[in-house]
């Protein structure tokens, strides 16, 4: 919230704003050295000047937000909201999204975003979330008008996405009809531990996920049986072992807009390399890269999340880096499980930071897609779970 201005030339705006938009607004305003109240005022003016229909943004869970606007602008904005048939909260969200899309930070290096899907607790659905979000990020969407693109930052054209099966169990690879790389053959693991001996480029080990929906933009780097021994290999690794994953992937980053990693369910050295890879790099703006954490609406998931936080804190202290949590996903939710499920979901959402990007229901389509070894968004593109994957992708793209 901006400080109270001197004089009577401004008046207070009190409304609500989704956590992801609020955080993106604060970060972008700081990067551009713009006062928060000026940024919001500029967004509202852009919103009022837009004559084309804007998309409805997800404002579920929006929290209180206040700032100051030039005198008269708030009242005019409220009148416009009524005329357009949208709530003040929706209008403000659209205005902030417009300003964000029109206020890119200059001179930012072109580097792939890195999203690590992690939780050392097994069974929370990391693989389903990593696969579904990767598909949503790569999905080809209908062309939209320029004004709509400005507001709908989160669902622009499909991006070039690499999803990495970093879990030695290889569930993601299996779900997409691929076999894990046999022990001893070149894989991500050999590139991490013995890159100098590699005969192939890592990009040549990736496989296109075939579907017109993804248009060749989605690739997977399959799991490898050697990953079961990765922790022991890292203990004798000659070099900075925490950077082994990044060292292997650096040459492949130029081929992709986003790299999503389905991490192993552990707190070992392999997980350390994934956490380090997700760190914010120099001059990289906040909200681009970091961790996506699937959780369940039950008590043991909260305990496991606490252990993950301890590991993140240790890594950030040891290497003096910043690792951002981009959001939580409450996965496999079923309200029929009663008070434990609903109260746990409410507790996750009450955290606020990191925000809950989506609550994904426990439905049959995901299991059916796995059985048929097809991408969820290709098998059932209009099912509730597919829409929730798009919701997560929107939340990840917002900054």
Q: Which domains does the chain have, with CATH numbers?
A: 10-101 (1.10.1220), 113-397 (3.40.50.300)
pLDDT tens-place string over residues 175-199? 999 999 998 899 999 999 987 787 8
- Between the CA atoms of 154, 149, 113 and 200, what dihedral angle is there, to the nearest 10 degrees? 120
- Over the chain, what is the mean pLDDT? 86
Strands 161-165 and 258-262, how do they pair?
parallel
Q: Encode burial over 191-215: b for 16+ CB neighbours within 10 A, e otherwise.
A: bbbeeeeeeeebeebbeebebebbe
Would you give the distance in Å from CA 74 to the centre of its chain? 32
pLDDT of residue 351: 85
Tokens 């050999």 sit at which residue? 190
Q: In what order do the strands lie in the sheet with 258-262?
A: 207-208, 218-221, 161-165, 258-262, 113-117, 290-295, 325-333, 356-361
Confidence of residue 145 (pLDDT cuts 50, 70, 90): very low
Burial of 253 (0-12, 13-18, 19+ CB in 10 A): middle
- Determine the angle formed by the axes of helices 269-277 and 299-319, rounding to 10 degrees: 70
Determine the pLDDT at residue 373. 94
pLDDT tens track for 23-43: 888 878 876 778 889 999 999
Quick: pLDDT tens for 191-235. 999 877 878 899 999 999 999 899 999 999 999 998 888 988 888
Which residues make beta-bridge pairs with 83?
Answer: none
105 pLDDT higher than 80: no
Contact indicator for 273, 241 with CB cutoff of 8 Å: yes
pLDDT tens-digit series, residues 6-21 = 344 788 888 999 888 8
Higher pLDDT: 113 or 342? It is 113
pLDDT above 70: percentage of residues in the chain: 91
Whole-model pTM: value is 0.71
């Amino acid at each position: 919230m901006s400080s109270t201005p001197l004089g009577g030339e401004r008046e207070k705006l009190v409304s609500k704003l989704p956590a992801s938009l609020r955080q993106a607004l604060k970060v972008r305003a700081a990067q551009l050295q713009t006062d928060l109240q000026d940024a919001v005022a500029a967004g509202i003016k852009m919103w009022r000047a837009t004559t084309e229909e804007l998309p409805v943004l997800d404002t579920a869970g929006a929290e209180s937000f206040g700032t100051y606007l030039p005198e008269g602008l708030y009242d005019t904005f409220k009148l416009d909201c009524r005329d357009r048939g949208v709530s003040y909260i929706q209008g403000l969200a659209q205005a902030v999204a417009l300003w964000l899309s029109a206020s890119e930070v200059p001179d930012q290096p072109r580097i792939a975003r890195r999203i690590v899907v992690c939780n050392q607790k097994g069974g929370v659905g990391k693989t389903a979330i990593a696969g579904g979000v990767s598909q949503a990020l790569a999905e080809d969407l209908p062309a939209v008008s320029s004004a709509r693109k400005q507001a709908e930052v989160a669902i622009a054209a499909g991006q070039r996405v690499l999803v990495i099966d970093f879990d030695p169990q290889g569930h993601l690879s299996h779900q997409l009809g691929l076999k894990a790389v046999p022990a001893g053959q070149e894989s991500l693991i050999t590139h991490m531990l013995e890159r100098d001996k590699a005969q192939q480029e890592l990009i040549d080990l990736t496989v296109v996920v075939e579907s017109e929906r993804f248009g060749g933009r989605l690739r997977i780097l399959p799991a490898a049986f050697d990953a079961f021994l990765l922790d022991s290999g890292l203990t004798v690794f000659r070099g900075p072992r925490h950077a082994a994953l990044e060292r292997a992937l650096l040459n492949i980053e130029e081929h992709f807009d986003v790299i999503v990693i389905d991490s192993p369910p552990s707190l070992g050295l392999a997980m350390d390399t994934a956490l380090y890879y997700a760190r914010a790099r120099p001059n990289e703006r906040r909200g681009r890269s970091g961790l996506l954490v699937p959780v369940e609406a039950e008590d043991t998931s909260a305990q496991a999340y606490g252990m993950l936080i301890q590991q993140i804190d240790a890594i950030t202290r040891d290497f003096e880096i910043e690792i951002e949590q981009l959001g939580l996903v409450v996965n496999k939710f079923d309200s029929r499980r009663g008070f434990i499920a609903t109260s746990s979901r409410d507790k996750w959402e009450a955290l606020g930071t990191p925000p809950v990007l989506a609550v994904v229901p426990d439905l049959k389509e995901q299991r059916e897609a796995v059985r048929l070894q097809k991408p969820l968004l290709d098998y059932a593109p209009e099912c509730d779970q597919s829409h929730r994957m798009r919701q997560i992708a929107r939340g990840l793209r917002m900054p």
